Amino acid sequence: MDFQVPNTLAEQIANFLAERIMTGQIRPGERIQEATLANELKVSRASVKEALYTLERWHLVEITPRKGASATKLNAEYASELYDVYMHLLMMLASRLCERWQEADKDRLLVAVSQVVERIREPQPDITRVVEASFNVMEACCQVVANPYLTEALSNFKPAVSRTYYLGADRYRKGLATTSTFFSELPQAVLARDATKATELIRGFAEHQKNLIRQALD
């Protein structure tokens, strides 16, 4: 990724660093030196510091007094805890979605889901494109539910969850059939306003994903 100064400098720095962390260019536990980074990107240390606070909110960086920032550690236990919390947020989202969707929302939701299935059915599926399409479904659901607190919480988890996908890409690719089945069945439950079925599907899929990541990390 080539660094370019945008209108919101700290946010762009955060995105730049997030990609490095998610793809393993910055390893788990590795220190992030503010001065070195500011010099590399030719920006102020204040902008770097603000970006690091954003990364801390995204669960990609730990900031320790007198020690500075480092990429969060990533192991099987961490991934399991991450998915447990993320799963319950998604279950809450699905439950609210079953209650609140209107006929005008139907096409937007179905289009987002169909894009995931299309990415999976490509001759050589690109995991990055599949994952991004999956998050687009989540974001479409958030727009319908319109709960700003839930939306913010899920958005803050997106980078950390993406990081685990990158790490377990090979195993995730082998599990794409399960992903396809999940995205085929979930809309049926939501459109039937069957919150119990929708949350059961999410729980099962999240546990499947959690096991894949745990295996990769172990």
- Identify whether residues 99 and 67 lie together within a single domain: no
pLDDT at 122: 92
Quick: pLDDT tens for 43-83.
999 999 999 999 999 999 999 888 889 999 888 888 888 88
> Residue 174 corresponds to which tokens in the numbers above?
């082998």
- Identify whether residues 92 and 118 lie together within a single domain: yes
- Identify whether residues 128 and 80 lie together within a single domain: yes
Domain boundary among 71, 89, 107: 71
Please, what is the angle between helix 45-57 and helix 9-22, to 10°?
60
pLDDT tops 60 at residue 187: yes
- Identify whether residues 60 and 127 lie together within a single domain: no
Q: What's the domain count of the chain?
A: 2
> Residue 154 corresponds to which tokens in the numbers above?
């899920």
- Asked, for residue 2, whether it belongs to a domain, the answer is no
Judge whether 140 and 207 are in contact, CB under 8 Å. no
- Identify whether residues 182 and 122 lie together within a single domain: yes
Please, what is the angle between helix 176-191 and helix 195-217, to 10°?
160
Q: Which domain holds residue 94?
A: 76-217
- Asked, for residue 186, whether it belongs to a domain, the answer is yes
pLDDT at 217: 78
Cβ-based neighbours of 177, under 8 Å, separated by 6 or more = none
pLDDT at 7: 60
pTM of the model: 0.84
- Identify whether residues 213 and 115 lie together within a single domain: yes
Quick: pLDDT tens for 128-180.
899 899 999 999 999 999 999 999 999 999 999 888 887 777 777 878 889 99
- The answer to which of 32-36, 166-170, 193-197 has the lowest mean pLDDT is 166-170
DSSP letter, residue 42: T
CATH, residue 26: 1.10.10.10
- Identify whether residues 111 and 176 lie together within a single domain: yes
Long-range contacts (CB closer than 8 Å, 24 or more residues apart) made by 98-105: 98/189, 98/190, 98/193, 98/194, 98/195, 98/198, 99/193, 99/195, 100/144, 100/145, 100/146, 101/144, 101/190, 101/191, 102/144, 105/144
